[in-house]
Amino acid sequence: MSEPVHFYEIVPLSLRCHGEELCGDEVKYCRLPDRTIVVLSDGLGCGIRAAILARLTTEIIVTMLRAGAPLREVIETVAGTLPISPEHGLAYSTFIILQIRNQDGCFQLSAFDSPPPVFLSDQRVQRLQSRREVVAGKALILSEGVLRPGDFLGLMSDGVLYANRGVTRDAAWGWDEVAAFLGKAAVSGPGSAEFLVRAVMRETQRRYGQRVGDDATFVGVLARKPRRLMVFTGPPADRKRDEACVHRLLGFEGRRVVCGGTTAGIVAEYSGEVLRTDTSTTREGIPPIGILPDVDLVTEGIVTMARTLELLQASGGDPERLPVDRNGAVLLARELLQADSVFFLAGESVNPYYQNPQLPRSVSIRRSLVMQLVEALKSFQKVATVEWT
């Protein structure tokens, strides 16, 4: 997956209805080379039936859109697949679809029986021009616009708007109030999607009196520049490439990480710096980190990377689930999870301590670890690439 010119930070957060084990709302998104797709579906009612139908809706929509199916065909398939509630005469699941063109931020929203999105530009609420179109018997509300760096889109299920209906004595809480709340939070907050989403959901939960009366979901999408990370690990197979690799690392616009003692020594040699060791970060089974000017993190190689892979898999892609500790593996995992795009510059020189030099490079431990790290990051919707040298 190539790195997009714009990056869209996507943060979904849900509150399940009080007394239910499953949330009847579902969010699914994917990043493609040319576009980003976000779908929020709200199953009718609460509980397991709502959850299953909402998940089915998001799976159908995202799978077909990423395969290039036209929107009309997608909606027709959803309409023909989902049953109608005999009790209410309504579809079991409503939805809103957001598609963003990565190159320039142009977006299209297609909503079926969902609350209108909130669009913030320059930290001010902007009304989107919308039109109504009937597709496969469903009345869709279509909107278009452009997400520029700093702009924010908020998608919500109606459970957010239902908060405070006779539960607390606060003033009314509807779309206008949610939009105004977001506008104030955008001015006072740090300018992250996570901050805005958590602020809205905390207020939603408070207005429910902590006993949420309906599944409530809010999805924040913030346009910003990508957070880029370069990981230089392993000496190049040809020592003549050492200096060029160091120049690429130090000239990289983003955060820089070096994994491997020999690799760190190469960087120190060609940058004219002294590599120091921070012994306070030594842990059982995890070597200490190093310190080099102009490099954000220096760790040992194979052992630390293997432990980092375990931490990534256990975290599910959430940095908040990483251990609270300052050691090489945790610090490396945090760097990887906080980046939007990760570029591995991986040398293929064989370390006889870990690898039989007579084995082909294609079966090296380092190669295997790097590829597993790349796949784990991709599963977390990161842009991850590797170049072997």
Domains of the chain: 7-224 (3.60.40.10), 228-388 (3.40.50)
pLDDT digits (tens, 9 = 90+) for 116-140: 999 999 889 998 999 999 887 788 9
pLDDT of res. 245:
97
CA 267 – CA 274 distance, rounded (Å): 10
State yes or no: pLDDT of 276 exceeds 80: yes
Higher pLDDT among residues 89 and 270, named by residue: 270
pLDDT digits (tens, 9 = 90+) for 159-183: 999 886 655 566 678 899 999 999 9
pLDDT of res. 289:
97
pLDDT digits (tens, 9 = 90+) for 238-275: 999 999 999 999 999 999 999 999 999 999 999 999 99
pLDDT digits (tens, 9 = 90+) for 186-231: 988 777 899 999 999 999 999 988 788 899 999 999 999 899 999 9
CA 22 – CA 51 distance, rounded (Å): 7
Nearest to 285 by CA among 254, 327, 233: 327
State yes or no: pLDDT of 352 exceeds 70: no
pTM of the model: 0.81
Q: Nearest 5°: phi and psi at 203?
A: -65, -40
pLDDT of res. 81:
80
pLDDT of res. 123:
87
Average pLDDT, rounded, for the chain: 90
Which pairs from 280-289 meet CB under 8 Å and 24+ separation? 280/326, 281/326, 281/327, 281/328, 281/331, 282/327, 283/325, 283/327, 286/327, 286/328, 286/329, 287/328, 288/328, 289/327, 289/328, 289/331
State yes or no: pLDDT of 362 exceeds 50: no
Query: Is-contact 348 237, C-beta < 8 A?
Result: yes
Higher pLDDT among residues 353 and 114, named by residue: 114
Question: Mapping DSSP to helix (H, G, I), strand (E, B) and coil, where does residue 240 land?
Answer: helix
CA 342 – CA 37 distance, rounded (Å): 21
Query: Is-contact 27 219, C-beta < 8 A?
Result: yes
Q: Find all residues with CB under 8 Å of 202, minimum gap 6, and list them.
A: none
Query: Is-contact 378 384, C-beta < 8 A?
Result: yes
pLDDT digits (tens, 9 = 90+) for 280-321: 999 999 999 999 999 999 999 999 999 999 999 999 999 999
CA 162 – CA 133 distance, rounded (Å): 26
pLDDT of res. 84:
67
Q: DSSP character for 340?
A: S
Q: What average pLDDT score do residues 328-338 get?
A: 97
Q: Nearest 5°: phi and psi at 29?
A: -145, 160
Q: What average pLDDT score do residues 150-156 get?
A: 96
Query: Is-contact 155 117, C-beta < 8 A?
Result: yes
Residue with tokens 């590599």: 275
